[in-house]
Structure 1
Amino acid sequence: MGFASTGLVFIVVMVAALDVSSSMAATYDVGDTSGWTSMGNIDYNKWSSSKSIHVGDTIRKFCLQSKIPQFLQVTPQDYESCTTTSPLATYTTGNDSIQIKGDDTHYYFICGVPGHCKIGQKVDIQVSTSIGQATKSRSSCYSDPCTSNSYPFISQNPFIPNPFISNPFLSSPTFIYDI
């Protein structure tokens, strides 16, 4: 293998590493450290709006009372009226994970314990249709003036890695030698 082949292998490895980083799904715990509770006046919609939840991500609900149907997925109408009689899904294990799929742009959840929804224990999770956070931060680097084309041999194409831009997903560069 010559120098050109080694360079091509390096580029392929770098592109693969960048691709993996942008396709990683995130997991969000409802309410973060507070969890799913009626105690403490938690604003779950504020929590939800502070997240950038995408298709493929997972939301988790944790609670101590696992026998009570505390986490109900409902329609927008049932969400607004806090109606618990016909949920789309019921989560009762106390350690539930719900993967966000591409068929909905909103997920509505309420607490099934009487009175809890009325005092704010409900959450409207809006699924972001924008590019994932890892992709956004990686792409923005290529449009940054710091990568101006003062070195014409360095590609400005986001699909061809720039060796002068560090990749946090690689601890050290990988070199392939033909011996």
Structure 2
Amino acid sequence: MSQLNKIVLLTVLVSFYMFSSCVSSTEFEVGGDDGWIVPQSNKTHGDVFNQWASHNRFKVDDTIRFKYNKDSVLVVSEDEYKICKATKPQFYSNNEDTVFKLDRPGLFYFISGISGHCEKGQKMIIKVMETESMPDSPPPSSTSSSSSPPSPPASAHKKSNALKTTVHFISSCFVVFAIMAISVFGLV
């Protein structure tokens, strides 16, 4: 293999590595050390889970872990969340250690499935940030006169109260990268 071919292959290899798909995800433990419990007092802790959620930044593919005893967790609609009653939950679990994957941007509504717990504050809204895209050009100027502040970028993803952060390489990209590395460095 000529020196020029090696340089071209090495350049392609480095470029591929830099732009390969790499997804980072974080697992959060709902409620921190206390877990998914009925708040002590609705007057002092009424919004404890929403306060916890507001101190974290969630993105697509993150997971949230609910740890609880003799309880359950449901994903419900906004209307069901408001009335603390689920007629058709989107998700239900009562295994005392539930992991839920945040698979899309937007709002997720969680409530306890035990009668009376939601009314006492065992409910939570999580906002999952839009995925960050590569900026090709400046964003279009807004013609709206809205005074609400912009949402923080997905890169502001906080990891407080996170159990672990993992990085997943798409397997086919990793295999191609490995084959290219062997071919470049094996022939040098």
TM range (shorter): 0.5 to 0.7
Matches within 5 A, 1:19-168: 19=19, 22-40=22-40, 41=45, 43-65=48-70, 68=71, 70-102=72-104, 105-131=106-132, 136=155
What are structure 1's unaligned runs of at least 5 residues?
Answer: 138-175
Q: Which residue of 2 aligns with 1:142?
A: none
Q: Which residue of 1 aligns with 2:159?
A: none
Q: In structure 1, what is the Cα distance between the partners aligned to 2:101 and 2:25? A: 10
Question: Could you tell me whether the CA contact under 8 Å between 1:2 and 1:178 is conserved in 2?
Answer: no
The two structures have a TM-score, normalised by structure 2, of 0.58
Q: Quickly say closer, same or farther: Cα 1:88–1:14, change in 2 above 3 A.
A: same
Name which structure has the greater RCO, CA cutoff 8 Å, separation 6+. 2
* Percent identity over paired residues: 24
**How far does the alpha carbon of each residue in 1:39-89 deviate from its partner, in whole angstroms, 9 at most, with x for none?**
453711122122221222212211122xx4x20111101101111343222
Give 3-state SS (helix, strand or coil) of 1:96's partner.
Answer: strand
User: Deviation of residue 105 (structure 1)?
Assistant: 1.3
User: Could you say which structure has the higher strand fraction?
Assistant: 2
How many residue pairs were aligned?
137
Matches within 5 A, 1:160-179: 179=188
Q: Quickly say closer, same or farther: Cα 1:33–1:20, change in 2 above 3 A.
A: farther
Q: CA RMSD in A?
A: 3.2
Question: Could you tell me whether the CA contact under 8 Å between 1:82 and 1:118 is conserved in 2?
Answer: yes
Q: In structure 1, what is the Cα distance between the partners aligned to 2:55 and 2:19? A: 25
Give 3-state SS (helix, strand or coil) of 1:80's partner.
Answer: helix
Q: In structure 2, what is the Cα distance between the partners aligned to 1:77 and 1:51? A: 24
Q: Quickly say closer, same or farther: Cα 1:114–1:53, change in 2 above 3 A.
A: same
Question: Could you tell me whether the CA contact under 8 Å between 2:58 and 2:129 is conserved in 1?
Answer: yes
User: Deviation of residue 112 (structure 1)?
Assistant: 1.4
